[in-house]
Amino acid sequence: MSSSKDISLPINDAQQSGCGCSSTQDTSAQQSGCGCSSTQDTSAQQSGCGCSSTQDTSAQPNVASTGRSLWRSLGAQSADAEASAFAAREFSSASDVLEGDDRRNFIKIMGAGFALAGMGLTGCRRWPESKIVPNASQPANRTPGVSVTYSTAVDFMGIGYGLVATSFDGRPIKLDGNTAHPYWGGTSTSWMQSRVLELYDPDRSRQVFRAGKPSTDAEFKSWLGERAKAMQAKQGDGLVVLTEKTSSPTMLDMIARFTQTFPKAKVVQWNPIFGNTHREGSNIAFGQSIRSQPQLENATVIVALDWDPFSASPFALRNMRSWADGRRVRAEDPTKQTQNRMYVVEAGVSVSGMAADSRLAVRRGDMPVFVAMLAQALGITGDSALKSAIDRLASCPASKNIVGDGEKEIFEQLVKDLKGAKGTSVLVCGDGQPAEVVALVAAINESLGANGKTLNMEPMSADTMGLPELVKSMNAGQVDTLMILGANPCYNAPADLDFSKAMGKVPNVARVAYYRDETSMDSACTFHVPQSHFLESWGDVRAPDGTLSVQQPLIQPMIDPAQGGHSAIEALGMLLTMSLGDSQPQDGYAMVRRTHMALSGLTGSTFESSWRTWLDTGMIVGKPITSANVSSRPSDIARAVNMLADAQPASRDASVELCFMNDARVFDGCFANNGWLQELPDPVTKITWDNALLMSVATMRRLGLSQGSMVTVNAGGRSMQAAAFPVPGMVDDCVSITLGCGRGESAGRLAVDAGFNAYPMRTTSTMRLVRGATVQATGAMYTFAHTQDHGSVDAALIPSVPHDGIQERLPTLVRQTSLASYKTHPDFAGHAVHTPHRLSLWQENNLDGAHFRWAMSVDLTTCTGCSACVTACQSENNIPIVGKDQVKRGREMFWIRIDRYFRGADPAKPNGFAIQPVACMHCENAPCEQVCPVAATVHDADGINSMVYNRCIGTRYCSNNCPYKVRRFNFFDYQRREPVREQSGPLAVKPEYYVDTGPNEWVRMQLNPEVTVRMRGVMEKCSFCVQRIAAAKIKYKNEWVKAGGTSGGTSNFSIPDGAIVTACQQACPAQAIVFGDLNDPKSQVSKLHASKLSYGMLEELNVKPRVKYMAKVINPAVDHSQHEGHSYTPAHENDGSTNKNQGAHS
Amino acid sequence: MSSLPVNRQTALPGFQETDNTAENPGVRAPLVLNMDRFGQVTRQVCQVAESKKPPFAWYVAFTVSLGLVGLLGFCVNYLIFTGVGVWGLNNPVMWAFDITNFVFWVGIGHAGTLISAILFLFRQKWRTGINRFAEAMTIFAVICAGLFPGIHVGRVWLAYWLFPIPNQMDMWPQFRSPLLWDVFAVSTYFTVSFVFWFVGMVPDLATLRDRAKGRIQQFAYGLFALGWRGSNRHWHRYEVAYLLLAALSTPLVLSVHSVVSFDFAVSQVPGWHTTIFPPYFVAGAIFSGFAMVVTLAVPARQLFGLKDLITLRHLDNMNKIILVTGCMVGYAYSMEFFIAWYSGAMYERFAFVNRAFGQYWWAYWIMVSCNVITPQLFWFKSIRTSIPIMFALCLVVNIGMWFERFVIIVTSLANDFLPTSWDFFTPTWVDMGTMMGAFGLFGTLFLLFCRYLPMIAMAEVKATMPQANPHWSGYEAHDDHGHAGGSAKPSFASPDALRSPGSGPDGGPPAL
């Protein structure tokens, strides 16, 4: 793989992209990136790419006559006077001045020269000096300036994903899904996208620590050797390996070998999120561990019970794809269009809840009763015990208040739908519910015939020891050596376990981890060893459908080899080598090959060729997993349901419940130091850099709080402080907070002051829910950095001018209808706004004769607002993170954003949500272009609204005149700035103009060299990933020329539809974004633009957007709204006399 | 002087005023009080520049102003070296204090040229008492205005790209941008106003030169007096030039703020995109300009003893103009609302309702109460002629007009088409410092002007005195020829003298 691993790599770009002069070592880098001087240790030069050379080739006849080996003519060589005179004349203009004896002239020229030098300021500015190391020999398979993609894979929470990594000159700069992967497809999530930034995290661990003091890998190895010997003598008694969940066959193989070598040793897996609820639930329901994976593509009715399938779930990607496939509106005949219907029953508001066709707000604590009511209504008959248990639970006091008056209709329709969709419906219950509810849901699914059709039942291997048992034995002094591979229990273990205290009782603790965080900083931690990133090490993963992928490294560990940089399998391998001797492979490469040799049964050259294919395609397609035949055990379920009924409060529980949710950004906290994820707005609240104590508006009012009130939450004998934030649509008497925030400095610099840590509230018995919480205001206020509803959400919550304004325009901005009314009014989207006048101030540029007309279509029906596109865009286009204080100022830099609206007249109780991704619309009649005084934003020949950074002086007029407000201004040098938090003092922002290196060389390595890094004072915005368009053009034009096309003049080459994929399009899990050429009538985007559902947002302004939306068609259980577009029709009257064809419906 | 319609003395404490505001169709109201000789005018005006020490209040004001200039320098440097982010701007509100201040100062700059050009063409003789310093105010205001577009751009060092300078990049400005029109409009306005001001000042500079005692003063005034000797031919050329410049300036008065308003009117932001803007901005500019003239005139005449030259009548006239333009502005406000409703345009209507009742309601109502309600008090003559009240009201109008620009710019941008982008602008201390600093710059320049240049157009004022009329009854009543002092009394032997009441050291014709 990549041969270089040090930070010199990006600087090599400068050398390679320039005019290609060979350079010797230690020349100083040139700022302008062109040309390299060839002498040693020359100082940096700014201007010109003149490859200065020690040989002066200017005309010097006298030199020629003295026998230099270079001459220009025979005359010069023979010192012919005439020739010399001619040579002198050749440069007469300069030589006359300089060689003439006119002193005044000389002084004039010199003076002018000095003045020019001064005006150019070349002499005054110090350019940063940095060393470059040339590639003296060209590495194989690499063309300078051309990116290479490699397939690789990542394991996330025990689930394997197939990836494709783009590498530029040895630096991985972008991760995407592997398009060929049969299970995941080529899409990705924000988490996957941002893993590449994690690779270059300057705060990642790069140093071995022994008891808090810097140490070396050698020291660790010798310590490990001692431990291995000692443990081997006891057959591993007292040896425990604590890992995270994994799907890796090699890891499982290593664990098996480990257990074989140390028979009495234990292996514990710990993940704070996605625990064992489902496993335990299946144990109750089926008597065995079953992983039931929803197959939403087969479902027409989807019921999510306290489950957010689209975000905060490791299956999110797959769920969104299959859900979207089941509802995309593409039928030629609208009356034949079908759509699945998703009900979401939840306490908070989740991404899925916003995308749901019908949503019911039910408290988490009341969910068991709700499920029982559903089971009762469906008439679940397993046996009489189960029936009576369900009846008992369904008649608990809570049942009276769960389904409100307005929601009864929805509930009845839900029951009706489920009854009518046997075999094509599925209920999924989230891990926020106890195992007993999982078991009850399994019984319902079975009666609905879901198993094997909409649910894939896969038997799981036996469970390992749990964390509570481990802590118990640690406290009992039974653990002598604890090896923690990745997991961070000191931060995220249930608070009642007090893992840190238990660890103090273990004499030998070694931790191999990517960050030196809470567990590694613990005083009981003997050794901390840096872990390698998955892009730096070999491994393998297994997707939920059984497809295996090899995790191929793209770069050598960016850690001094003397300082560790092992992967988890390598750490286990080291342990085994210490015990079993050198016969064991120590590097990941050999281990992974050994595993797959064994799994495939191939050897020798057959294996080698298969191995190469696997690496190339990124996967080893195995036998697809078929659903196991399992049947439920009603009596056990009945017992479980009775237990639930026992646990229900005797009277109606009016206390506030505290729910722990999964964070859509930092997940369980593992991404706390990832700037892209920290700054990613939460899909629902739009809060960045923080989590918050969320509650409904009514609850907030009842508690006497307002947005940002600091509160003390007391629950289950524990308390925490957090700031309150209202979420319209959330269930009342419930507060929720996401896990994984508030880690502080131990997670890295970016995590400082980012949110509130909810883990201390969470115990083994209250993993997801604490009843009877009290919330008290402390009186302090907290300011959130959110990218929407700036100022205050509170203000928008009071029926007011802004709220009415939003509701009034919403039907025209986000056009939506129900499936039923779509069938009768398929062209409703064209009727939402009537536009009589469309006249321009000037003659418009019609872009006639454009070779391509790039355009985009965004399908609102399938967009869930998951925000994967936002991170993908950030990753592709070098979009900086700006930090919390700048987001508070409203200066986030995203080129694409997800707009979220609450629908309905009552701002506190929305009757729906609207989600809309907004990027630059590339208006053909662009308002930004007309107002730029320096022509810094102009159309290119293909109709892309381009931003010319070099030309921009930053008047910001374009942004003011942009109706979509998609332009982003570099208020500071964000790329050079540390994204630090609020600084104090009046000069909080320091002039950093002469800071030459920027925040960190590491972070800069992620930058995409194909995209300009913008300086302060310039405007930027979505470019339709113009670098990808250019790359495709070059490729297809070359092919065309090779095939006999004529270069120059009118080139007639074509680019096939789908050859250019924008970053957002590539990532979108719901495949809601389509990009292509409108000149090609067969392209997907042409067809979508021609669809009756297609509309341009604000196109009544005559801006002619190239990005159009496919109006949203939902399939609600109860269709209150006829197509909304007609609810408000401004300027309905059309004076046909002046516009015969312009007055058409927009 | 008993025939003059001077009726009563207003006797508010500290503000003894001679009231010359009464109208008598038969008799022209006097514009110069308590003086019957041209020399008195000359001495009165020149003593400010010639006195060894200006009044103590001048020092106080100058210190404060200079301090604010220091603050301005600091803020601007901090801005340029750090980034536009030191201001409170955010994504939807990309312009706030910067352009508010720009439009405010350009507006202030309107009164001077209007007084000197339009009133000149309309033969409004009362303009002579105030035109000089109103013009100076114009020039300084335009300097302050020009500062903001210059520093507000993201890359200040490239701001020269706004000008059509031939360059090796082969790039040219984009002529469809109203911002570019601004560049031309404001720079033209500044140039013409400056030339107009300077040309009008030449005879007075010559007077100062002739009276100067020190070498430096003689040299400096002499340099700028351009060799003025007060000859008949000089006067002839001068008056033609002055007339031409007035004719040239007059359309500029109307055009510059129209062009500034195009910045908004040509864009499509709801609340900006209205055709009423050009006349509305011009009226507003004159409104604020006159308020600023009154604001400056009241302390200046008090401080430098110029009450007899800037009389209550002058102030009364200006207050009437403020009343008229205030009503025009009020009409524009209401018409904006009417059209927003009448157009049926959803975004437009929201922009105006939100302006009055949204998050910036306070700014809107400050604007309305200052600009529409306050000037209505000027219907009452007692208020129009009360120095303290008019001073307070004009200050209020200035505040109101600043808020008008703030309301137009910020409220429109903060809540435009897509609600998800709505935001709230909060100024930082740098915003405030830059704004205060601009006032400091204005004050410093104005105070220096007061101290060293003729604040009142002596030559022109004298022409408005009855004595300037060769048929003045006083000449017939008593023959002053041969009185002691020679130049102490005006003596006009020929009609020529009417055109030259200001060339001699004392304002009379040269002694010999």
CA distance B153 to chain A (A): 5
Q: CA of A1132, closest CA in chain B: separation in Å?
A: 9
Angle at the Cα of A237 (from A234 to A242), degrees rounded to 5? 135
Domain annotation covers residue B4? no
CA A210 from centroid of its chain's CA atoms: 34
Q: Looking at beta carbons, which residues of chain B come within 8 Å of A931? A: 176-179, 266-267
pLDDT at B221: 93
Q: What percent of chain A has pLDDT over 90?
A: 30
Q: Which residues contact B169 (CB under 8 A, 6 or more apart)?
A: none
What band does A623 get if pLDDT is binned at 50, 70 and 90?
confident
Query: Do residues A228 and A578 lie in contact, with contact meaning Cβ atoms separated by under 8 Å?
Result: yes
Closest to B151 measured CA to CA, from B75, B208, B227, B207 = B75
* Residues A758, A763, A765, A767, CA torsion sign: positive
- Mean pLDDT over A673-685 rounds to 91
The minimal CB distance from A791 to the residues B263, B421, B423 is found for B423
Q: Looking at residues A777-790, what average pLDDT do you find?
A: 87
Alpha-carbon torsion, ordered A97, A103, A109, A115, to 10 deg? 170
Q: What is the pLDDT of residues B182-222, one digit of tens each?
A: 999 999 999 999 999 999 999 999 999 999 888 999 999 99
pLDDT at B44 over 50: yes
Q: Is residue B156 part of a domain?
A: yes
Top-confidence residue, A156 or A651: A156
Out of A101-115, A674-688, B287-301, least confident range: A101-115
Q: For residue A1053, what pLDDT band results from cuts at 50, 70 and 90?
A: confident
User: What pLDDT does residue B502 have?
Assistant: 46
pLDDT, tens only, A1061-1079: 999 999 999 999 999 999 9
**Beta A301-305 vs A425-429: how paired, if at all?**
parallel
- Confidence band for A50, pLDDT divided at 50, 70 and 90: very low
Q: What is the pLDDT of residues B155-184, one digit of tens each?
A: 999 999 999 988 887 888 999 999 999 999
Q: Which residues of A touch B421 (CB under 8 A)?
A: 964-965
What SS3 string covers A418-470?
HHHCCCCEEEEECCCCCHHHHHHHHHHHHHCCCECCCEEEEECCCCCECHHHH
| Contact check, Cβ <8 Å, B172/A935 | yes
Per-residue pLDDT, A93: 53
Question: What is residue A6's predicted lDDT score, i.e. its pLDDT?
Answer: 38
Q: pLDDT value at position A456? A: 86
Chain A and chain B share a number of CB contacts under 8 A equal to 200
Residue B475 belongs to some domain of the structure: no
- Whether residue B154 and residue A1018 make contact (CB cut-off 8 A), yes or no, is yes
Q: Of A849-863, A1049-1063, B21-35, which one has max mean pLDDT?
A: A849-863
User: Taking 50 as the threshold, does the pLDDT of residue A395 lie above it?
Assistant: yes
Q: Identify which has the larger pLDDT, A1115 or A581.
A: A1115
Taking the CA of residue A897 and the nearest CA in chain B, the distance in Å comes to 10
Q: Which of B176, B418, B424 sits opposite A964 (nearest CB)?
A: B418
Determine which of A672-676, A690-694, A977-981 has the lowest per-residue pLDDT on average: A977-981
pLDDT band at B507 (very low <50, low <70, confident <90, very high): very low
Angle at A194 between CA A188 and CA A196, to 5 degrees: 105
Asked if the model's pLDDT at residue A48 lies above 50, the reply is no
> Residue A3 has what pLDDT?
41
Query: Nearest chain B Cα to A935, which residue?
Result: B174
**Looking at CA atoms only, how far is residue A969 from chain B in angstroms?**
7
Give B477 or A850, the one with higher predicted confidence. A850
Residues A1096-1124: what's their mean pLDDT? 83
Cross-chain residue pair B418–A931, CB shorter than 8 Å = no
Question: Identity (one letter) of the amino acid at A652?
Answer: R
Residue A63 has pLDDT above 50, yes or no: no
Q: Which domain holds residue B400?
A: 53-165+172-464
pLDDT(B233) > 70: yes
Instruction: At A834, give phi and psi (nearest 5°).
Output: -110, 130
Cα radius of gyration rounded to whole Å, chain B: 24
B510 assigned to some structural domain: no
Query: Is B267 in Cβ contact with A961 (below 8 Å)?
Result: yes
Chain centroid offset of residue A1123 CA: 34
Strands A1112-1114 and A816-818: parallel
Which two three-digit tokens encode residue B344?
A: 């049926």
What average pLDDT score do residues A390-400 get?
A: 84
| Predicted-complex ipTM score | 0.89
Give the residue-averaged pLDDT of B435-458: 93
Distance separating alpha carbons of residues A937 and A953, to the nearest angstrom: 11
Three-state DSSP string of A967-998: CEECCCCCCCCCCCCCCCCCCCCCCCCCCCCC
Please report the pLDDT score of residue B260 as a whole number. 92
Question: Is B46 among the domain residues?
Answer: no
Q: Are A220 and A527 in contact (CB under 8 A)?
A: yes
Whether residue A1130 and residue B153 make contact (CB cut-off 8 A), yes or no, is no
pLDDT band at A116 (very low <50, low <70, confident <90, very high): low
> How far is A706 from A709, CA to CA, in rounded Å?
6
B361: tokens are 């309601």
| Distant-in-sequence, close-in-space partners of B8: CB < 8 Å, separation ≥ 6 | B19
Q: Span A248-260, mean pLDDT?
A: 90
The torsion angles phi and psi of B352, rounded to 5 degrees, stand at: -80, -40
CB B90 within 8 A of CB B410: no
Search chain B and give the residue with CA nearest A808.
B346
Return all residues near A738 (Cβ < 8 A) that are at least 6 apart.
A660, A661, A662, A663, A664, A691, A755, A758
pLDDT at site B3: 43
Read off the pLDDT band of A646 (50, 70, 90): confident
Written as one letter, the residue type at B260 is V
Between CA A1073 and CA A1094 the distance in angstroms is: 13
Q: How far is B219 from chain A (nearest CA, A)?
A: 33
- Comparing alpha-carbon positions, the chain A residue that sits nearest to B269 is A961
Q: Please tell me the predicted confidence (pLDDT) of residue A1135.
A: 36
Of A420, A418, A419, residue with least CA distance to A428: A418
Is A813 in Cβ contact with B82 (below 8 Å)?
Answer: no
Phi, psi of A856 (to 5 degrees): -135, 150
Q: Which of B152, B268, B419 sits opposite A961 (nearest CB)?
A: B268
Amino acid A41: pLDDT: 37
Does residue A1104 contact residue A923 with C-beta atoms inside 8 Å?
Answer: yes
- Chain A residues touching B156 at Cβ < 8 A: 1017
> What is the model's pLDDT at position A767?
86
Q: Which of A558-567, B107-116, B502-511 is the least confident region? A: B502-511
Distance from CA of A982 to the nearest CA of B (A): 13
DSSP-derived secondary structure for A134-187? --SSPPTT--TT--EEEEEEEEETTEEEEEEEEEETTEEEEEEE-TT-TTTTT-
Check A790 against B354: CB less than 8 A apart. Answer: no
* pLDDT number for residue A400: 81
Distance of CA A199 to the CA centre of its chain: 14
| B26, burial (CB in 10 Å: exposed 0-12, middle 13-18, buried 19+) | exposed
- What is chain B's mean pLDDT, rounded? 85
Task: Please compute the mean of the pLDDT values over residues A1044-1073 and round it to a whole number.
Answer: 84
Judged by CB atoms closer than 8 Å, whether chains meet at B413 and A991 is answered as no
Return the closest-CA partner of residue A223 out of A441, A598, A529, A629. Answer: A529
Contacts of B177 in chain A (CB under 8 A): 930-933, 957
Q: Is B13 domain-assigned?
A: no
Nearest to A725 by CA among A637, A779, A785, A815: A785
What CATH number does residue B262 fall under? 1.20.1630.10
Residues B337-358 have pLDDT tens digits of 999 999 888 899 989 988 888 8
Average pLDDT of chain A, as a whole number: 81
**B45: in domain:** no
Q: What's the mean pLDDT in B376-400?
A: 92
Select the residue of A964, A971, A986 nearest B83 (Cβ to Cβ). A971
**Cα(B407)–Cα(B396) distance, rounded to whole angstroms?**
16
Contacts of B95 in chain A (CB under 8 A): 956-957, 960
pLDDT of residue B463 exceeding 70, the answer is yes
- For residues A14-33, give the mean pLDDT: 36
Phi, psi of A969 (to 5 degrees): -110, 140
Rounded to whole angstroms, the Cα distance separating A834 from A1001 reads 53
Going from the C-alpha of A88 to that of each of A74, A85, B98, the distances in angstroms are: 15, 5, 58
- pLDDT(B430) > 70: yes
More confident of the two residues B224 and A62: B224
Amino acid making up residue A269: Q
Inter-chain residue contact A889 with B344, CB threshold 8 Å: no
Q: Are B404 and B36 in contact (CB under 8 A)?
A: no
CB contact under 8 A, B171 and A1101: no
Instruction: Indicate which of A887, A971, A1107 best probes the interface with B, i.e. most B CBs within 10 Å of its own CB.
Output: A971
Query: Which of A890, A931, A990 is the closest to B90 by Cβ?
Result: A890
pLDDT for B495-504, tens place per residue? Answer: 444 444 444 4
Interface probe, candidates B97, B421, B425, chain A, greatest A C-beta count within 10 A? B421
Which residues lie closer than 8 Å to A863 by C-beta, 6 or more apart? A915, A916, A917, A1068, A1070, A1072
Virtual torsion, Cα A65, A69, A74, A79, nearest 10 deg = 0
Among the partner-chain residues B90, B155, B422, the one whose CB lies closest to the CB of A954 is B155
Instruction: Give residue A798's pLDDT.
Output: 53
Among A125, A841, A894, A953, the strongest candidate for a mutation testing the B interface, having the largest count of B CBs within 10 A, is: A953
Residue B443 has pLDDT above 90, yes or no: yes
For the ranges A879-883, A992-996, B200-204, B315-319, the lowest mean pLDDT is seen at: A992-996
Give the closest of B92, B155, B344 to A1017, CB-based. B155
- If one compares A1002 and A238, the residue with the highest pLDDT of the two is A238
The confidence score (pLDDT) of residue A1140 equals: 36
Per-residue pLDDT tens for A717-764? 899 999 999 998 899 899 999 998 988 888 888 888 889 999 999 998
Report yes or no on B293 lying in a domain: yes
Count of structural domains, chain B = 1
Q: How far off is chain B from A937, nearest CA to CA, in Å?
A: 10
Residue A31 has pLDDT above 50, yes or no: no
Which of A784, A841, A845, A931 has the highest number of chain B CBs within 10 A, making it the mutation to test binding with B?
A931
Per-residue pLDDT tens digits for A926-937: 999 999 999 999
Based on its alpha-carbon atoms, the radius of gyration of chain A, rounded to whole angstroms, reads 33
φ, ψ at A269 (rounded to 5°)? -110, 135
What pLDDT sits at residue A747? 86
Coil vs helix vs strand at A130: coil
pLDDT digits (tens, 9 = 90+) for B107-148: 998 888 888 888 888 888 888 888 888 999 999 999 999 999
Candidates B358, B416, B429; nearest CB to A986: B429
Out of B90, B346, B415, the one facing A802 most closely (by C-beta) is B415
